[in-house]
Amino acid sequence: MKKIEAIIKPFKLDDVREALSGIGITGMSVTELKGFGRQKGHTELYRGAEYVVDFLPKLKLEIVVSDGQVEGCIEAITNAARTGKIGDGKIFVSTVEQVIRIRTGESGEEAI
């Protein structure tokens, strides 16, 4: 099993969710966060004063999938979240040793 963490632009969430649903991924967690990478923030004008916005709003998606679903999941996220501009985000993949569904006690891939 793998855990896929994707950092995306907030307005791309619906596109990514639909793309994942289209390949059979039914569950995910979404967290609002702020951050920056190469984008390095931007300047804004507020009441005549210019100021720097260092941290930009982003969303982090967390999805646990079986090993066979990883490539399809990555492709769906990449295609749906891409705008072609700086700041589109990143995808991180890590190994999950065990999953347990609290309600039923199921473990492993049955618990996903």
- pLDDT tens for 54-63 read 778 899 999 9
> pLDDT tens, 35-72?
877 766 666 666 777 667 677 889 999 999 999 999 99
pLDDT of res. 47: 73
Task: Quickly state the pLDDT bin for 78 (edges 50, 70, 90).
Answer: very high
Where does the pLDDT of residue 112 fall: very low under 50, low under 70, confident under 90, or very high at 90 and above? confident
pLDDT score, position 106 = 94
SS3 19: helix
Cβ-contact 32, 11 below 8 angstroms: no
CA nearest neighbour of 24 among 92, 58, 78, 72: 72
Spell out the domains of the chain, with CATH numbers in brackets.
2-111 (3.30.70.120)
Tokens of 98: 């065990």
